[in-house]
């Protein structure tokens, strides 16, 4: 079914609880006892002897001695910001990386599966990283997804601007502070999931998109699917997320630990600006401010509207 986009449908989309993964992705429930390994609930119990035995077997049988991922995850690190908390414009805490510091004590938690704990520690990377020397950078640990910045002749192409306006804005500010201030000349939405477009209003002004000054590039069908998927399935997706990741629980070895592909979803302002450039063909090329991009539409992969992007000048995919 084709969805006709108008202001009403956008308003409905923004109000659905499916998009509450940003506005209410559990918010930030820090636990002061997490560093001491205390249970956040007075009725909470320590893991049973059977659980402890199972965890010990896993630690002995899985290849935890292989540390290559930890070494590679630090590659290209430039700097972390002086803060670990990002406030939302509404006054709540949008992001708090410090609430996960209990993971960095070097302890094994019997209440956490060893593989999950390993992944949770790997996801503690926080700050600005260089991916391709002098050309492509990422800000990691500001949201569920990573936000990438590609240097053009005069500005930045922002690739996947996170879930929330506030975290995306903070990421752009960090990049400009450390690498020199440059305007955003384009944004690429890789696919139609909220954590890859919701922070767009933190990096560009809608008026500049409507005037054509800034390009927003997206795969064919992006707007239909960005709305339809979250309106039709939004409530179920949010409910699943609460159960799957325990995001409403305090951040603790006994509660919320990680969201596996990232720490959590920012509890900020999720927005959307309609793209002004669509990749409609299976394969298209485009040059933006001196940077060549090759797009390959891959619908129905992770998302119903999705595309790959290759930067041939930088041999980056």
Cα–Cα distance for residue pair 47/53, rounded to 1 Å = 10
Q: What is the pLDDT of residue 293?
A: 98
309: which 2 tokens?
Answer: 């992007």
Please provide the size of the chain in residues.
317
Sequence spans of domains, the chain = 7-25+51-56+67-310
* 10-residue mean pLDDT series, the chain (317 residues): 40 34 57 90 95 97 96 97 96 95 96 97 97 98 96 98 97 98 98 94 98 98 89 82 89 94 92 97 98 97 96 97
What is the pLDDT at residue 21?
35
Q: Which CATH class is domain 7-25+51-56+67-310?
A: alpha beta
Instruction: Write down the pTM of the prediction.
Output: 0.89
What is the reported pLDDT for 1? 40
Write the CB contacts of 65 (distance below 8 Å, at least 6 apart in sequence).
none
Residue 148, beta-bridge partner list = 138, 159
Give the HSE-up count for residue 169: Cα atoms under 13 Å, Cβ half-sphere: 17
Q: How would you list the strands of the sheet with 283-288, edge to edge?
A: 283-288, 291-297, 307-310
Q: What is the pLDDT of residue 27?
A: 67
The two tokens of residue 94 are 């949008």
How many whole angstroms separate alpha carbon 153 and alpha carbon 269? 31
């Amino acid at each position: 079914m084709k969805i006709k986009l108008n202001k009403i449908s956008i308003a409905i989309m923004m109000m659905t609880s499916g998009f509450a993964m940003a506005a209410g992705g559990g918010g930030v429930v820090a636990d002061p006892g997490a560093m001491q390994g205390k249970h956040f609930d007075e009725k909470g119990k320590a893991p049973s002897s059977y659980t402890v035995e199972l965890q010990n077997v896993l630690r002995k049988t899985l290849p935890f001695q292989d540390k290559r991922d930890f070494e590679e995850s630090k590659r290209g690190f430039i700097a972390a910001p002086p803060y670990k908390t990002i406030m939302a414009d509404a006054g709540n805490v949008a992001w708090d990386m410090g609430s996960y510091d209990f993971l960095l004590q070097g302890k094994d938690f019997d209440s956490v599966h060893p593989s999950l704990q390993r992944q949770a520690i790997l996801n503690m990377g926080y700050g600005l990283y260089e991916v391709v020397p002098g050309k492509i950078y990422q800000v990691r640990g500001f949201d569920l997804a990573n936000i990438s910045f590609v240097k053009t002749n005069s500005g930045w192409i922002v690739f996947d601007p996170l879930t929330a306006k506030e975290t995306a804005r903070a990421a752009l500010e960090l990049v400009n502070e450390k690498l020199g201030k440059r305007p955003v000349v384009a944004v690429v939405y890789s696919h139609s999931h909220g954590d890859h477009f919701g922070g767009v209003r933190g990096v560009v002004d809608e008026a500049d998109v409507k005037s054509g000054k800034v390009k927003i590039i997206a795969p064919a069908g992006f707007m239909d699917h960005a709305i339809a998927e979250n309106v039709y399935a939004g409530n179920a997706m949010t409910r699943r997320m609460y159960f799957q990741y325990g995001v409403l629980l305090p951040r603790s070895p006994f509660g919320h630990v990680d969201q596996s592909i990232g720490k959590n979803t920012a509890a900020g302002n999720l927005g959307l600006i309609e793209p002004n450039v669509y990749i409609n063909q299976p394969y298209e090329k485009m040059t933006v401010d001196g940077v060549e991009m090759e797009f390959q539409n891959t619908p129905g992969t992770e998302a119903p509207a999705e595309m790959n992007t290759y930067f041939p000048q930088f041999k980056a995919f």
